[in-house]
Amino acid sequence: MNESDERVQELVRRAIGPMADPELKRDLWPRMRARLETPPVRVPWWDWALAGAVVLCLIVFPAAIPAVLYQL
C-alpha cells in the first residue's frame, strides 16, 4: 500500500469515524419469539398445480412464452 492509499484511508477514518455506541439497547428476545411463533407461509396445493400447468404449457407451446412475458 502506497502513501496515497494510506492518505485515502486516513481521510475516511477521520471523516466518518467509528460507531459511537454499538451496544444493544433492548432485549430482542420478544421479537425473536414472535418470529418463531409465526406460522410458516404455506402455499396451497392448487397454486403449485397451477404453476406446474403453466410451466407445462410453456414447454409444450414455447411460442407462448413472449405472450406470457408480455402479460407480466
Partner 1 sequence: MVSDRRKMTETAVDLLEQFASGDAAAFEALFGEYQGQVYGWIVRIVRDPAAAEDLTVETFWRIYRARARFDPRCGFGPWARRIATNLAVGHLGARRPETELSDEAPPAQARSSPPDAAVRADVREKVAAAFEKLPARLRAAATLAMIEETPYAEIGAALGISVGAVKSRLFRATRLLRKSLIGAGVEP
**Residues engaged in binding partner 1 (CB under 8 A):** 1, 4-5, 7-9, 11-25, 27-29, 31-32, 35-36
What value does the CA radius of gyration of the chain take, rounded to a whole number of Å? 27
Cell of residue 17, nine digits: 469515524
Distance in Å, CB of 23 to partner 1, minimum: 7
First to last CA, the chain: 50
Distance in Å, CB of 34 to partner 1, minimum: 9
Nearer to partner 1, 31 or 51 (CB): 31
